[in-house]
Structure 1
Amino acid sequence: MKPSILSHSVHAILRDLGENSTGAELVKSVLDPLVGVVALQGPPGVGKTSLVRLVAQSLSSVFPGGAYWVLPSYGPFAEQVERAQTTLSDGSLVVIDEWDAFKGRSPMGRLLSAAERHANKSTVLIVGRSDIGLPDVDALVVAMRPGPPLVPSWILGEASEDIASYGSFTQVGLIDQHGSPLSPSSPAGQTLIVEARKGDRELLRRIGSDPDLIYQISPRRFEELVAKVYEELGYEVSLTPASGDGGRDLQVAKKDHLGSFLYFVECKRYSKDRPVGVGLVRQLHGVVSAAQASAGVLITTSSFTKGARAFQEAVPHRMSLKAYTDFRAWLAEAGFSSGAN
């Protein structure tokens, strides 16, 4: 059965998202035991994918089968749909992003029909534009409206109205104290980059001395710190965008006497009492297989469920699970422990 919206874990998710937000409405729709298919629709650029990632990550631990993503970049369409359909009987959340690329294909109809049969324990969540069009499926539609950045209101506090008054940001990069673009190759840009790296090292040293500090940083900051540790350990690291990352947060490469290797790394900054479930492990394994990467690594600030461990043990050379104790060992190896100079 799907977890009740009155349960403690779901109540905490709704509180974090904001009780009256589109995210909270989406969570309630996904957990409705009478609904097997939910469609989040809205025009381009309003933050649909970012919201769904936030909701899916929040709900992955309350669905026994975790969250499973279907995306054009993840591999052959029919294979993805077949794997997704097998997860529905376990009680899972299947997310189909970029719906316009899949709409109308016959295997999708079988998946949606299966979702309706398993509505009491699983949900298929479709993300697309306003013309989703599901004539043969009894889907619950949630409209995504343009609004301020997707940050829970309890974090923003009194600043929420100020942030909402700003328009969308259309460019990324370095800026100077006057808000003007700053070239990374300029002396001022190089100084800023060096200072930022010093800040990473100082924070990692503090975490090495006080491990509980990790729970005070954002999930994105955790990804950045993991990337920094990999760099200190001699790897070449590419940090993917905060949204639309293709199912991995980092791409980590290393070349040695055995050859060249590429690892996909997914980072989960979870609380101590929130273990990572099998759904996320299965999802990363699918991304690794589709892209023919060397292996996948899922690292978390918590631990892993028995199901997650069992899945990894079946594919030990393609998947590696790293709990917070492993990350702390990396800190020591990279020289960030309390005893390091």
Structure 2
Amino acid sequence: MPDSAPVSTNGYRGRFAPSPTGSLHLGSLLAAVASYADARAHRGVWLVRLEDLDRPREVPGAADDILRTLYAFGFRWDEPVVFQRDRTHAYQAALDRLTALGLTYPCGCSRAEIARLGPPGIDGPIYPGTCRGGLPHGRHPRTIRCRTDTQRIDFSDRIQGMQSQVVGDSIGDFVLRRADGIHAYQLAVIIDDAWQRVTHVVRGADLLLSTPRQILLQQALGLPQPDYAHVPLLVDDAGRKLSKSLAAAPVDPSSPLAVLKRVWTLLGQEPPRSDCSLSAFWQQAIARWRIERVPASSMLHFQLERTERHDQYQVG
């Protein structure tokens, strides 16, 4: 278990929550750096949570590899790592509570049907409400959905500014438990954030559109709403997300300082001294962190340089 950094009891609790579907890549590192720097600049607690609910997509050994890489890059977490696979009872209890409130219903529609019948929304096709009034004859339940309405969700993002979304109009009734029995990310993440008393969430802008759904669930369950900040998503020159790009190759834990300095620059921060050590980098970075300098953009373009190892890349 890593050494804990000195923290105060000012109430700030942040977290980094990667999914072990592969090694830590550059986009995940950017979110981790921003999350860690913001927590430490506030002399707060910083946690790591492995979001490993989606077992079919999990890569064996990826969780341990992510933790080793974070440690090699100088990250130190303050409490034991939490694994979502150990928390399914909590997600089911929350789902039962939502059902008791009349906010869920079973759905027998397949993804292909929704794609064919649902109008386009901001995050894929909008669920057309086929099963909202009850399962049609001959249908069997596949998923459990959250019943939405015309309530508008407004929140202020510390990087992206004011955000507003009517979940029912933009997304539709969304899934809380998948056809394979796995609880959906939108439900699990808000239950874990509340349980871990997370006060500040700093994460990638690919999750910005999900935040209103999470706030809606927080409000329904009477859970506290953290302060949100979404850092830009890294894309390559072709505009591809890291998961669809060569940049998804793992960052090199044997040479962390050069990568950290480049990530720090991408976050719009004042560069540290060129000759600093890893520990000195973090000391300077935490002292100089200003979240208002992070670009208020949903995407950042970058170029890559191949390293001597063919399976790893650094930012160029």
Q: Highest relative contact order (Cα 8 Å, sep 6+), 1 or 2?
A: 2
TM range (shorter): 0.3 to 0.5
More helix by share: 1
TM-score normalised to structure 2 length: 0.33
